[in-house]
Structure 1
């Protein structure tokens, strides 16, 4: 079990955190700050203040796990576990230290948080290609090309487990300047305009054509208000952060993997899985 040492000193009513030796501890002086005496008598634990402390410590010790993934150089990067506060164990330790005068200090307990996708899984589910699609764009249009590359990188290495739903907007996230997206041409109500993230509809449209498979259920897809040049008519999938999304569901018996790559004017998406992959049968919805 991995822990972080933290000495909490109260200045007025606010704790000051000091890190040392990669562990987090609370000393007796800090612990006693969470008591109250409503009437003359013994000190009682203030549960409301304790819950506020727990929320604060949760933020301090939390490390998000990272899934295994492929780098830009196509190197398979192993997963990295994260951690979270063990709230139940912490409350037991805290209450014991509060009421037991012999306990001078407690170590904050944490527990590991494991990623959902590890290296072994990625290696297994790249054995069989289920579908693929290629589209082309003008690399000279640097802003649009950068947007396409960013969105492609966001969905690359993503795994959709059996019965799980994939949302393009959820996985790619909001297209903002802070995240590197540029202003580029978009279609708004049938007219060409410019907006942040212009061009990513080529990624969603390429993905739609790649996942148009027997074991994939298209849940949500919208066409542009005018024809786009990178896919045949009727084969596009427009997306917008505050509007249309592209959503599909994995109805195979195995996880499916998205590999997406955009470089030098060529956008490629491949859909992969294990050798034993078959579509679900029956009336499952």
Structure 2
């Protein structure tokens, strides 16, 4: 009842930094002392709960420092007329945006974005299950994870866990996807650089865009990544063709 989660600083849709907010936790040692005095020694009838601040991992000063230099980028296309799938993509991108990965830290897509449920606003949309098209809550989010994979691969980070779909998808070249599922596959990468990384994920119209930023002093080795061809993007005209896996293959 006392604990309040700290809130990291983030970058809003207009590009402005929203300051962090410290959290609160119970000061156990002081509380035990005061409670003992109150309960056993006839203290006052009320007890003010002693607390300690919980600092956030990311403050506005850090964000200002690591939003300087773009070291990786990728974007993919989707059909904005598929309202449910577009909605899911936007929700996942919003959860991913402003993520900070510190040196030596391993990033998990599932842990960052969270479980895709109807209670969180995710809707039913086309998915792939064991190579067959179906529908499920959260359909579309694998396009976000796949876009992220190509962006961080472009930035030269170390990919530690990635799985492909059981059949090809049209928004990335063959073998360049990253399927995810809450109870199945996840996408992981490790920041092997000496500076923190900032992930920006945005959706505009029918485009998912993910960029990787860091300090202007970062020494990195980018990789060239392939893009989806026009033929790939147009090979299936139906809205339902832009699908991915949630749950997993």
Which of the five TM-score ranges fits, normalised by the shorter chain? 0.7 to 0.9
Higher strand share: 1
Matched, 1:122 2:63: yes
Which residue of the partner structure matches residue 192 of structure 2? 251
Which residue of the partner structure matches residue 148 of structure 2? 207
Which residue of the partner structure matches residue 218 of structure 1? 159
Following superposition, the deviation at residue 263 of structure 1 comes to 2.1
Please say if residues 215 and 251 of structure 1, whose CA atoms lie closer than 8 Å, have aligned partners that are also in contact: no
Which residue of the partner structure matches residue 246 of structure 2? none
Which residue of the partner structure matches residue 135 of structure 1? 76
How many residue pairs get aligned? The number is 221
Aligned-partner Cα distance in 1 for 2:158–2:100: 16
SS at match of 1:131: strand
Superposed CA deviations along residues 240-272 of structure 1, whole A, max 9, x for unmatched, are 111111111111101100000012001100000
Superposed CA deviations along residues 207-244 of structure 1, whole A, max 9, x for unmatched, are 00000056511111001111110011111111111111
Tell me which moved more, 159-168 or 212-221: 212-221
> TM-score, normalising length from structure 2?
0.84
Following superposition, the deviation at residue 279 of structure 1 comes to 5.3
Please say if residues 163 and 178 of structure 2, whose CA atoms lie closer than 8 Å, have aligned partners that are also in contact: yes
Superposed CA deviations along residues 15-69 of structure 1, whole A, max 9, x for unmatched, are xxxxxxxxxxxxxxxxxxxxxxxxxxxxxxxxxxxxxxxxxxxx2x221110001
SS at match of 1:166: strand
Which residue of the partner structure matches residue 76 of structure 1? 17
Aligned-partner Cα distance in 2 for 1:236–1:106: 56
Tell me which moved more, 133-142 or 74-83: 74-83
Aligned-partner Cα distance in 2 for 1:217–1:117: 22
Which residue of the partner structure matches residue 192 of structure 1? 133
> TM-score, normalising length from structure 1?
0.74
Which residue of the partner structure matches residue 174 of structure 2? 233
Following superposition, the deviation at residue 99 of structure 1 comes to 3.8
Q: 2:97 aligns with which of 152, 156, 168?
A: 156
Following superposition, the deviation at residue 139 of structure 1 comes to 0.5
Following superposition, the deviation at residue 153 of structure 1 comes to 0.4
Matched, 1:260 2:201: yes
Aligned-partner Cα distance in 1 for 2:117–2:147: 22
Flag structure 1 segments of 5+ consecutive residues without an equivalent: 1-58, 281-285
Q: 1:171 aligns with which of 103, 106, 112?
A: 112
Following superposition, the deviation at residue 178 of structure 1 comes to 1.1
SS at match of 2:112: helix
Higher relative contact order (CA 8 A, sep 6+): 2
SS at match of 1:111: strand
Following superposition, the deviation at residue 73 of structure 1 comes to 3.4
Task: Decide which structure has the larger Cα Rg and report it.
Answer: 1
